[in-house]
């Protein structure tokens, strides 16, 4: 897409969607599944899970999405990490009730991580079968406007491709598979299951207002190097923005000129404080996708970052 006049690479969930309903469904399914594997009443399991949820909320820097012992995102920036963080809290806890629940999980699953993956993926599949879409209000009109202005838009998301295609499809907007070379020139494409969580061998990280965020994400980097976007947009700093910020700070191929945050009601202080003028800082924050036409028009017209 190097020939495109202005190219936006954007995350999907939490930027173009309202993810709370699906996140609540994953959380409820975690409770249901813990009750099932343990044979305990759902009310009792719910109480225990809520106690662990409070523990997670009280220590957000100690919980997140762990991969081989490293947090690829933190729980306070990433709503989809919350049920998994609660599961991890139960796994760590030594008091008898939590330990008994963990033992029941281990009878059916190799480890807590496999159980949590099962809860996440089975909820997502069922949720998409029941829900037409949870696009943010006006999302499809914003997308149509960006395309009318001659911009190219590429979704790079850990969600499955079918979710993006179906949710915009019911609104009459066709999204092409970015991995299919036949669609290389399409102005609206998506990479599903983009693997933004996978970390490389180095421990390269950014200090984001006191929180260390890992930046070596080879699968995401390879996509950025191929797409060469002008703007990267996302709602989870670690997953969506850390790698493009690092590329820009290191002046490497695939670095975008602009990096933007879609801030949500829960977005933590350390993420908001990572907006600033430095190459490794986020250039602008918007609170809703309907702000994009104004912001992207301004960015295209200017050669320097703006704060919106
Ligand atoms: Mg997101």
Q: Three-state SS for 260?
A: strand
Contacts of 226 (CB under 8 A, 6+ apart): 254
Among 4-8, 209-213, 278-282, the least confident range: 4-8
pLDDT tens per residue, range 118-140: 998 888 888 888 888 899 999 99
Alpha-carbon distance 34 to 168, whole Å?
34
Q: How far is the CA of 235 from the centre of ligand 1 (A)?
A: 5
Q: What is the pLDDT of residues 38-67, one digit of tens each?
A: 999 999 999 999 999 999 999 999 999 888
Alpha helices in 13-160 (DSSP H): 20-38, 42-58, 82-92, 96-108, 112-130, 139-148
Q: Which residues contact 214 (CB under 8 A, 6 or more apart)?
A: 70, 71, 72, 199, 203, 204, 205, 238, 242
When pLDDT is cut at 50, 70 and 90, the band that residue 149 belongs to is very high
pLDDT at 296 over 90: yes
Phi-psi region of 148 (alpha: psi -120 to 50; beta: other; left: phi over 0): alpha
Q: How far is the CA of 95 from the centre of ligand 1 (A)?
A: 34
Lowest mean pLDDT, pick from 18-22, 124-128, 298-302: 124-128
Query: Residues of CATH 3.40.50.1000 domain(s) within the chain?
Result: 7-17+135-301
Is the CB of residue 164 less than 8 Å from the CB of residue 156?
no
In this structure, the number of other CB atoms found within 10 A of the CB of residue 223 comes to: 22
17 near 167, Cβ under 8 Å?
A: yes
Q: Are 190 and 154 in contact (CB under 8 A)?
A: yes
d(CA 11, CA 191): 10
Predicted local distance difference test score (pLDDT) of residue 1:
42
Both tokens of residue 112?
Answer: 């807590």
Instruction: Quote the ligand 1 centre to 77 CA distance (angstroms).
Output: 9
- Interval between CA 103 and ligand 1 midpoint (Å): 32
Q: Please, are residues 179 and 33 in contact by the beta-carbon 8 Å criterion?
A: no
**Is the model's pTM score more than 0.85?**
yes
Residue 78 alpha carbon to ligand 1 centre in Å: 7
- In angstroms, the CA 115 to CA 38 distance is 13
Judged by DSSP in three states, 278 sits in coil
For domain 7-17+135-301, the CATH superfamily is HAD superfamily/HAD-like (3.40.50.1000)
């Amino acid at each position: 897409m190097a020939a495109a006049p202005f190219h936006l690479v954007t995350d999907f969930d939490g930027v173009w969607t309202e993810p709370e309903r699906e996140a609540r469904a994953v959380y409820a399914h975690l409770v249901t599944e813990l009750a099932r594997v343990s044979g305990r009443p759902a009310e009792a399991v719910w109480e225990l899970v809520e106690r662990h949820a409070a523990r997670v909320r009280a220590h957000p820097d100690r919980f997140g999405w762990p991969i081989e012992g490293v947090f690829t995102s933190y729980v306070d920036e990433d709503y989809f990490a919350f049920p998994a963080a609660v599961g991890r809290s139960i796994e760590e806890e030594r008091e008898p009730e939590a330990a008994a629940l963990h033992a029941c999980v281990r009878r059916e699953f190799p480890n807590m991580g496999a159980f949590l993956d099962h809860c996440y993926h089975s909820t997502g599949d069922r949720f998409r079968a029941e829900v037409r879409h949870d696009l943010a209000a006006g999302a499809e009109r914003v997308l149509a406007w960006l395309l009318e202005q001659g911009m190219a838009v590429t979704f790079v998301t850990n969600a499955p491709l079918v979710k993006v295609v179906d949710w915009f499809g019911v609104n009459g907007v066709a999204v092409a598979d970015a991995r299919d070379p036949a669609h290389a020139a399409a102005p609206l494409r998506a990479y599903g299951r983009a693997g933004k969580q996978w970390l490389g061998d180095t421990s390269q990280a950014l200090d984001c207002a006191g929180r260390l965020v890992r930046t070596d994400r080879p699968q995401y980097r390879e996509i950025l190097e191929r797409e060469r976007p002008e703007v990267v947009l996302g709602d989870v700093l670690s997953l969506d923005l850390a790698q493009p910020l690092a590329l820009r700070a290191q002046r490497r191929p695939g670095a975008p000129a602009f990096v933007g945050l879609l801030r949500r009601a829960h977005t933590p202080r350390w993420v908001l404080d990572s907006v600033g003028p430095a190459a490794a800082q986020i250039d602008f924050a918007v609170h809703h996708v309907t702000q994009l036409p104004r912001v992207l028009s301004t960015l295209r017209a200017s050669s320097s970052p703006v704060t919106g």
